[in-house]
Amino acid sequence: MKGKLTYYIDQEGDWYKATSIKQLKQKYDLKGKHLPLYEEDDDGHTYQVGYVIGDCWLTAFTPVRIKVS
């Protein structure tokens, strides 16, 4: 998030990708306020894992590149 390419998956299983919330909302025509989506682990620590935009719940994933040669 915050300037890095991020992939998102919504509650319907649809994928999105963007480098900012502004770009995400414009590119996919998402309407409404955006709020952080949080998740708590087994130890009670809270993490931001994505965003809620309107009625779309988006979980964020950062792509990983692994050099193979």
Tell me which residue range forms the domain holding 35. 6-61
In a domain, 31, yes or no: yes
The DSSP 8-state label assigned to residue 11 in this structure reads T
Name the β-bridge partners of 34: 53
Q: What are the tens digits of pLDDT across the range 2-18?
A: 688 999 999 999 999 99
Which residue bears the tokens 């935009």? 53
In a domain, 16, yes or no: yes
Cut 0.85: pTM above it: no
In a domain, 55, yes or no: yes
Provide the domain count of the chain.
1
What does the pLDDT read at residue 60?
96
In a domain, 69, yes or no: no
In a domain, 24, yes or no: yes
Sign of CA dihedral 47, 37, 9, 16: negative
Q: What are the tens digits of pLDDT across the range 15-61?
A: 999 999 999 999 999 999 999 999 999 999 999 999 999 999 999 99
